Amino acid sequence: MKVLVKTDILGRNENAAAENAALFARRGIYALNLLGSPGAGKTTLLERTLTALSGELRMAVVEGDLFTVKDAARIERCGAPVVQINTSGGCHLDASMVAAALAQLDLTALDLIVIENVGNLVCPAEFALGEDAKAVVLSIAEGDDKPLKYPLIFKESAVAVLNKCDLLPHTDFDMAAARRDIEALHPGIAVLPVSSRTEEGLAAWYAWLRAAAAKKRDVR
């Protein structure tokens, strides 16, 4: 019974996700579903990205959060169009929530939409939003055992950003072990150690985004 209900919810979500994907394809917009635990640093990474790439990519953000508009306010200060989705306690975004948010954005002149999901390393990985790719942000303060403990999100993501690398000297995080585990879960995934605080490593992240958006634009 429980399984049937879950299958039904996921089935309806897949349909809505396909409609979002078709909309992104028509517009030539690259859509990224940004995932990670609470406090992994998703919003700070986005702030850096919007500032650094504002001259070359036209970007908008959809912000998922349980109740607050704190993150949307931070994004707005970067000058990017942003729509807040509040899930009222719900643990993930679904494709119909994103569809409603997209209706509030001007999609005629965009290269990249980043959808920041609810802070949660489990549930959001199960719900497609129509995105071109998922990106998972893991704070190195969370520990190097997390990829094997939360494998689905790493299997689903095209890129893993290992954030807060400025804290490496103050933790026991084993970067080689983390990289090995992530690449074993998902051969071909891009593993990018960065610090949004010191900006170390961010150039590789920007290059990844730039290439992804350019590829989508060329298809258009």
Binding residues for a second copy (CB under 8 A)? 2, 5, 9, 37-39, 65-68, 70, 89, 91, 118-123, 126, 139, 141-143, 145-146, 148-152, 164, 166-167, 170-171
Q: Which bin fits 88, alpha (ψ -120 to 50), beta or left (φ > 0)?
A: left
Look at residue 202 and give its three-state secondary structure. Answer: helix
3-state DSSP percent of the chain in helix, strand and coil, to 5: 50, 20, 35
Q: Nearer to a second copy by C-beta: 132 or 181?
A: 181
Q: Nearer to a second copy by C-beta: 26 or 149?
A: 149
Question: Looking up tokens 């290059």, which residue turns up?
Answer: 207
Q: Nearer to a second copy by C-beta: 76 or 105?
A: 76
Q: Nearer to a second copy by C-beta: 58 or 86?
A: 86
Nearest approach in angstroms of CB 157 to a second copy is 15
Distance CA 100, CA 200 (A): 36
DSSP letter (8 states) at residue 104 = T
Nearest approach in angstroms of CB 27 to a second copy is 30
Nearest approach in angstroms of CB 41 to a second copy is 8
Q: Nearer to a second copy by C-beta: 89 or 188?
A: 89
Nearest approach in angstroms of CB 63 to a second copy is 11
Q: Please enumerate in sequence order all residues whose Cβ is within 8 A of that of 167, keeping only pairs 6 or more positions apart, or say none.
A: 139, 140, 141, 173
Nearest approach in angstroms of CB 173 to a second copy is 10
DSSP letter (8 states) at residue 113 = E
